[in-house]
Amino acid sequence: MNFSIRGQQIEVTEALRDYVDKKLSRLDKYFDAPPTSDGTVTLSVVRGLHAVEVTIPLIGVVLRAEDRSDDMYASMDAVVDKLERQIRKHKTKINRKLRQKGAKDSLFVEGATAGSMALDESDDELEVVRTKRFTLKPMDVEEAILQMNMVGHNFFVFSNIDTKEVNVVYKRNDGKYGLIEQD
């Protein structure tokens, strides 16, 4: 698997690049064949915290993990652990569906989970604990941001008055705002 490693407000040294490559190579054991898509790794320093963000596009799923800590190497370790957990969960879900259909092929290697990395049954359960229904009021993006801040949430779903589509505004980790639009 190939990774594009870039730094934001930090120089990516050869030692750091080697460490990232070494850590991410641990993920190869989970795949029958190395994925053909290229992943991205972004290393940055924001307000004294070392952040690592890794995105790996696969067929049917995008694996993404991010972590911030006082140490870049610790952040990288945490991101790889998160990615391994995501892969194990996805692998379990895919393999369960394939077994139910009687298929033999799988994207992931059978038995690739180590004993210490075995999935808990509780990790595999995705449970909806609350459902909300509400009418989407047509509004512009600025009004949606004001409404989001007024209710104290970090995202807000609304009907965009300009495009007549359902959109989501959200507060980013850097304190700025993002907008999610339909394709």
Q: Which residue has the higher pLDDT, 32 or 12?
A: 12
Is 62 a residue whose pLDDT tops 60? Answer: yes
SS3 80: helix
Strand partners, 159: 138, 166
What is residue 9's predicted lDDT score, i.e. its pLDDT?
A: 83
Torsion of CA 91, 63, 80, 49, to 10 degrees: -150
What is residue 119's predicted lDDT score, i.e. its pLDDT?
A: 41
What is residue 105's predicted lDDT score, i.e. its pLDDT?
A: 52
What is residue 76's predicted lDDT score, i.e. its pLDDT?
A: 93
For residue 169 the two structure tokens come to: 């505004």
What is residue 113's predicted lDDT score, i.e. its pLDDT?
A: 46
SS3 135: coil
Confidence of residue 118 (pLDDT cuts 50, 70, 90): very low
What is residue 94's predicted lDDT score, i.e. its pLDDT?
A: 74
SS3 50: strand
Is 97 a residue whose pLDDT tops 80? Answer: no
Using a 10 angstrom Cβ sphere, with 0-12 exposed, 13-18 middle and 19 or more buried, the burial of residue 21 is middle
Q: Which residue has the higher pLDDT, 89 or 32?
A: 89
Q: What is the pTM of this model?
A: 0.58
SS3 35: coil
